[in-house]
Structure 1
């Protein structure tokens, strides 16, 4: 699994590989995701939330997730789905980014 801050266009996003304990915590939070939700797509430029990559084993929501402004997005086979982030996933990812030395990149 890899977590990235989706902030750059045209160059690699900064990110980290979570420890096994962090993966367990993230899985626990993702299980709290509630019913599908409609929400606008993230902006084209600047901060666009967090990407959780290679998450297949962590969640049934999808293998690549975007966590942005209180929503969790998944795109599979051209269909975008969104869920309300009542589990606090975005807040937890923000704290992890700070812990991994990337807090200065967050808005």
Structure 2
């Protein structure tokens, strides 16, 4: 996934960034996230699904509940991709 797409997804929703920051504290359920951030449980689930699709969080089932965790080096990998060489010819591909 291109870093620009991930950055766009994160920048388009400050709440999504808050969810990710909360997950760096440890595994959380959608209900716990909703309560902590004062958002609807469905909204928390939507943000978690988006973050999961971006590869920034993982989900683990525990009985009927799911717990989400931030991918430890997911954010680091994103930063490394962004910091890549400015003259990388592959970086120009999404401009064509």
TM (norm. structure 2) is 0.30
**Structure 1 length normalisation: TM-score?**
0.28
Higher CA-based Rg: 2
